[in-house]
Amino acid sequence: MLPEQRIEEALPTIARGWRRAPAPVRAVIDFSRRKPMGAAGGGIVAVLVLIALVAPLIAPHDPYKPDAGAIYAPPGGQYLLGADETGRDVLSRLIYGARVSMWVGIVSVLVGISIGAVLGIVSAYVGGKFDLITQRLVDALLAFPVIILGLGIMSVLGASVNNVIMALIIIMVPRTARTVRSQALSIKEFDYVLAAQAVGAAPVRIVFRHIMPNIFATCIILSTITLGLAITTEASLSFLGVGVPPDVPTWGTMLRAAADAFISVSPSLAVFPGVAIALAVFGANLLGDAMRDVLDPKLRGR
């Protein structure tokens, strides 16, 4: 067969290949068409993650370097969003702040939701005493208001980025376990699980092959919705001075410094970090709502 012929034969496939973008790309395009607001939210989160990744490249100044001549400089001029109480550039600190917020948010969500999901599934599948005890533990943990539990854990662990992640995981696990457990309980009764049990599949296989994949959608929804909670809680704890150490630039510590200083001197210091937090949470919420509608109509309006 001549090379040209082979190309000609392959053409329809190539053409189809061109029209059919790879599956993940198609999924994104499809999602954006159905849920433009959700896609916008996803875009906000993606941009913030990107900013966090390339922070050293795009920050106009050193976020740690004080400038004695620019203390409380108003927005505009050399420092685009002004300077703080030691003359450090607010914009650069905001950009570096995205690193902590996104890192803490994403890592705690990934780990917290995973542990919670496994706990929820096992609790539902094993049942009996194990389920009873786990659920009472979950009840007890859920009794503590988020900020108070966070304060308690942070005072035990001490202020650091990793400890904030730890505290957030402890906050998320019971919430995830509760939701996943109720889902797993209904899946457990489906015919295909009963069939797998009937042919003698091991419990581990049933949990991982048959129940886990069906919980996946719920976990994705929970992750996006919880991301907003994680970002707010990190900022709140850092604001109270028990979260991220005060020398690390984060949106929460920036607001703390702004509130500690005489705020009316430079009100913009109290505005920008809050806008950043609200924007991140807003993006995550929009994305979460849209994911819920697309992936699981049953959860709608909850």
Partner 1 sequence: MREYILKRLALFIPTIVLVTIMVFAMMRILPGDPALLILLGEEGEGSYTQEELDNLRHQLGTDRPIIVQYGKWVWDLLRGDFGESIWDGTPVKNELRDRLPVTLQLAVMAIVISVVIAVPLGVVSAIRQDTWIDHVTKIFTITGVAAPTFWIGILVIVGLALWFKWLPPLDFANLWTDPVTNAKQMIFPALALGYHDIAFIARLTRSAMLEVLREDYVRTARSKGLREWIVVFRHALKNALLPVITVAGLQFGALMGGVVLIEAIFLVPGTGTLLLDSLHRRDYAMIQAIILLAAVFVLTINMIVDLLYGWLDPRVRYG
| Site residues, partner 1 (CB under 8 A) | 136-137, 139-141, 143-148, 151-153, 155-156, 158, 228, 232, 235-236, 239-240, 242, 255, 258-259, 263-264, 267, 270-271, 273-274, 277-279, 281-282, 285-286, 301
Alpha-carbon distance of 251 to 274, in angstroms, equals 7
Q: Least CB distance from residue 284 to partner 1, whole Å?
A: 9
Q: How many angstroms separate the CA atoms of 13 and 16, rounded?
A: 5
Nearer to partner 1, 16 or 300 (CB): 300
Tell me the three state secondary structure of residue 89: strand
Residue closer to partner 1 (CB basis): 107 or 278: 278
Q: Residue 51: which residues within 8 A CB-CB, separation 6 or more?
A: 58, 95, 98
Q: By CB neighbour count within 10 A (0-12 exposed, 13-18 middle, 19+ buried), where does 223 fall?
A: buried
Please state the closest distance from residue 183 (CB atom) to partner 1, in A.
17
Task: Give whichever of 160 and 285 is closer to partner 1, judged by the CB atom.
Answer: 285
Nearer to partner 1, 154 or 161 (CB): 154
In the complex with partner 1, the residue whose CB is nearer, 106 or 193, is: 106
Residues 6+ apart with CB under 8 A from 254: 84, 90, 93, 94, 97, 269, 272, 273
Number of Cβ atoms within 10 Å of the Cβ of 220? 16
Shortest distance in whole angstroms from residue 24 CB to partner 1 = 28
Shortest Å distance, C-beta 179 to partner 1: 15
Phi, psi for residue 83 in degrees, rounded to 5: -130, 160
Q: Residue 240 CB, nearest distance to partner 1 (Å)?
A: 7
Q: Least distance from C-beta 257 to partner 1, angstroms? A: 11
231 beta partners: none
Of 31 and 282, CB closest to partner 1: 282
- Integer-rounded Cα radius of gyration of the chain: 24
